[in-house]
């Protein structure tokens, strides 16, 4: 759907000119496709739009083509995140509104017009709305329409593989993860007699551990009953890999595998994101939520590389304060040893933090045995 003529203009708008622009024009031009079926080959059909699937340049070209859309959305005062062909609009409504403001209606009209002008087809039925707020908010008729289709808030939406509900409880997400993980563990158990331990570990990490770790920084501060669901998945994976029985205590098994428990894997991820945000390796919207601690008087703690923990008035919702990155990240960062906080190299920080979390996790677990 990427129009080559429009893409040519947008490449020039971002400063790509001269020989480089000629290279990209050559990359896109004179391409065609055929259909092969049962030994028969259709005639060649010239392609006048689209970027080649699988080419390393194609994602960059598509992002450049879609770049003006984010600029248009932000001009209305809305936030915008884009990932591949997924565009998300964010609108913060202060106070207690009963319906979406006119700004959102005008923005959606402008978005629909931009898509038509860019020769892209809009599918309103695939547009989802998540309204975070009171239960009586976001009912039918309070949201504008998009291309003639009335938008209705959904009870949950999926964003980049993560399920969000209106209360951000993450319960649906964790239920989906545990269901998929246990399915793959049952499949791995059938393969276990035919695989060596390293190969079985590879299968478990690819199908189970990857699910536990994906976006697990969103699980900060969740109720124990939810994190225990994830821990049961990890325990089952560890028992399968080591051949231990249900009667064996799980903490020595995890220690033998050098696996951090789920709670500490979440902490590890948040601290890595904090380090990257502080030193320009992460997104700016996370860095904007962190600030170095600066006491009013000259104290010994001035140069300890600690972060400011926001007060009660600085976090909007008291019910989710403990889960906010702006509150959890500084608290956990300040709990690190001073020599770890002083590091500037990511690899060294990962090693030191892993050792610190490993010791804390298993010292606390063994003390409870």
Average pLDDT over residues 226-248: 93
pLDDT > 50? residue 64: yes
Average pLDDT over residues 36-55: 86
**Distance between CA atoms of residues 305 and 70, nearest Å:** 36
pLDDT 10s digits, 115-173: 999 998 888 888 888 888 665 554 545 778 888 888 888 889 998 889 998 888 899 99
Helix (H), strand (E) at residue 228: helix 224-242
The torsion angles phi and psi of 77, rounded to 5 degrees, stand at 85, 10
- Report the predicted TM-score, pTM, of the whole model to 2 decimal places: 0.80
| Confidence at residue 100, expressed as pLDDT on a 0 to 100 scale | 72
| Confidence at residue 316, expressed as pLDDT on a 0 to 100 scale | 60
| Confidence at residue 318, expressed as pLDDT on a 0 to 100 scale | 59
pLDDT 10s digits, 249-282: 888 899 889 899 999 999 999 999 999 999 999 8
Average pLDDT over residues 70-80: 91
Confidence of residue 368 (pLDDT cuts 50, 70, 90): very low
DSSP 8-state assignment for residue 208: I
**∠ CA(277), CA(314), CA(268), 5° rounding?**
35
| Confidence at residue 237, expressed as pLDDT on a 0 to 100 scale | 95
Which one has a higher pLDDT value, 55 or 238? 238
| Confidence at residue 225, expressed as pLDDT on a 0 to 100 scale | 92
Strands (E), 205-340: none
| Confidence at residue 324, expressed as pLDDT on a 0 to 100 scale | 86
pLDDT 10s digits, 81-92: 888 778 899 888
Cβ proximity of 172 and 156 under 8 Å:
yes
Contacting residues for 317 by C-beta, under 8 A, at least 6 apart? none
| Confidence at residue 144, expressed as pLDDT on a 0 to 100 scale | 82
The chain-wide mean pLDDT, for the chain, equals 85
Token pair listed for 273 = 């994101």
Give the Å distances, CA to CA, from 215 to 85, 144, 163, 210, 273: 20, 31, 11, 10, 11
Q: Which one, of 65, 66, 62, 64, lies nearest residue 52 by Cα?
A: 62
Residue with tokens 């889960």: 323
Token pair listed for 196 = 């060596």
26-35, 131-140, 231-240, 344-353: segment of lowest average pLDDT? 131-140
| Confidence at residue 96, expressed as pLDDT on a 0 to 100 scale | 55
pLDDT 10s digits, 324-334: 888 899 999 99
Average pLDDT over residues 312-320: 63
β-strand partners of 33: 45
| Confidence at residue 314, expressed as pLDDT on a 0 to 100 scale | 63
């Amino acid at each position: 759907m990427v129009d080559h003529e429009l893409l040519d203009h947008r490449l020039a708008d971002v400063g790509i000119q001269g020989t480089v622009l000629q290279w990209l024009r050559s990359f896109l031009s004179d391409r065609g496709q055929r259909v092969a079926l049962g030994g028969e080959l259709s005639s060649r059909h010239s392609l006048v739009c689209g970027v080649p699937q699988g080419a390393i340049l194609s994602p960059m070209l598509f992002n450049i083509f879609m770049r003006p859309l984010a600029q248009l959305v932000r001009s209305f005062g809305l936030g915008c995140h884009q990932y591949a062909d997924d565009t998300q609009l964010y609108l913060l409504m202060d106070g207690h509104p009963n319906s979406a403001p006119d700004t959102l209606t005008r923005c959606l009209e402008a978005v629909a017009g931009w898509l038509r002008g860019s020769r892209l087809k809009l599918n309103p039925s695939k547009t989802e709305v998540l309204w975070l707020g009171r239960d009586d908010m976001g009912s039918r008729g309070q949201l504008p329409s998009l291309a003639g289709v009335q938008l209705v808030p959904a009870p949950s939406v999926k964003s980049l593989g993560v399920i969000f509900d209106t209360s951000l409880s993450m319960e649906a997400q964790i239920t989906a993860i545990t269901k998929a993980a246990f399915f793959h563990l049952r499949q791995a158990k059938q393969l276990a007699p035919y695989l060596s331990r390293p190969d079985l570990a590879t299968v478990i990490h690819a199908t189970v551990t990857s699910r536990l770790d994906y976006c697990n920084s969103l699980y900060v501060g969740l109720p124990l009953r939810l994190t225990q669901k994830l821990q049961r998945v990890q325990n089952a994976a560890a028992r399968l890999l080591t051949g231990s029985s249900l009667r064996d205590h799980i903490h020595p098994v995890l220690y033998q595998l050098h696996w951090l428990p789920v709670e500490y894997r979440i902490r590890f991820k948040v601290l890595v994101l904090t380090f990257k945000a502080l030193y320009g390796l992460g997104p700016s919207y996370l860095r904007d939520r962190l600030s170095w601690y600066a006491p009013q008087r000259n104290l010994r703690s001035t140069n300890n590389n600690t972060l400011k923990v926001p007060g009660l008035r600085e976090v909007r919702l008291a019910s989710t304060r403990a889960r906010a990155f702006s509150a959890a990240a500084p608290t956990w960062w300040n709990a690190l040893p001073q020599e770890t906080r002083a590091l500037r190299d990511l690899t060294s920080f990962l090693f030191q933090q892993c050792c610190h979390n490993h010791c804390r996790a298993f010292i606390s677990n063994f003390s409870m045995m």
